[in-house]
Amino acid sequence: MAEKTITLINQIAQLEVLADAIESLAAEWEISMSISLNLNLVLEELVTNIIFYGYEDAGEHKILIHLSFEDTILEVRIEDDAKEFNPLLHAEPDVNAPIEEREIGGLGIHFVRKIMDDMTYERLANKNVLILKKKII
């Protein structure tokens, strides 16, 4: 099994660090460009939400992204100490409704659900733990 942990802090500039780490990891693990781009899109969306909406103080907080790849399964575990947020509890947006009738927000989580094959959430020791899985063929 191949494993890697990316440690970020809650600053938007860290998205560049994340993108570079995903690009490097994809090359090392021989993951296709399309999977790499989708993974970066998913992680950028989730980390951005954590940074913008997760913290009620201006302090520095760590966001840990553990990645593992075994057989054909890519697993991503995101851990943060932000306020509790379970993305699985949010209803799917009605993407067929006219734009003026749609509620604001929710599309990012929708894209995560569509791109990844599995998503689970737990609140452990005052931390959000989101686990995403993607089968790589």
The pLDDT assigned to 102 comes to 47
* Phi, psi dihedral angles at 120 (to 5 degrees): -130, 155
Block mean pLDDT (10 aa), the chain, length 137: 96 97 96 95 96 95 97 97 91 56 60 93 97 94
Residue 31 carries which DSSP code?
A: -
Domain, as residue range, for 57? 2-135
Sheet containing 73-80, strands listed edge to edge, beginning at the edge strand earlier in sequence: 2-9, 62-70, 73-80, 127-135, 118-124
What is the C-alpha separation between 27 and 4, in angstroms, rounded?
13
- Domain count of the chain? 1
Single out the residue of 104, 99, 41, 31 nearest to residue 69, CA to CA: 31
Q: Specify the CATH number for the domain of residue 19.
A: 3.30.565.10
What is the C-alpha separation between 23 and 106, in angstroms, rounded?
26
Q: What is the pLDDT of residues 6-35, one digit of tens each?
A: 999 999 999 999 999 999 999 999 999 999
Is the pTM higher than 0.85? The answer reads: yes
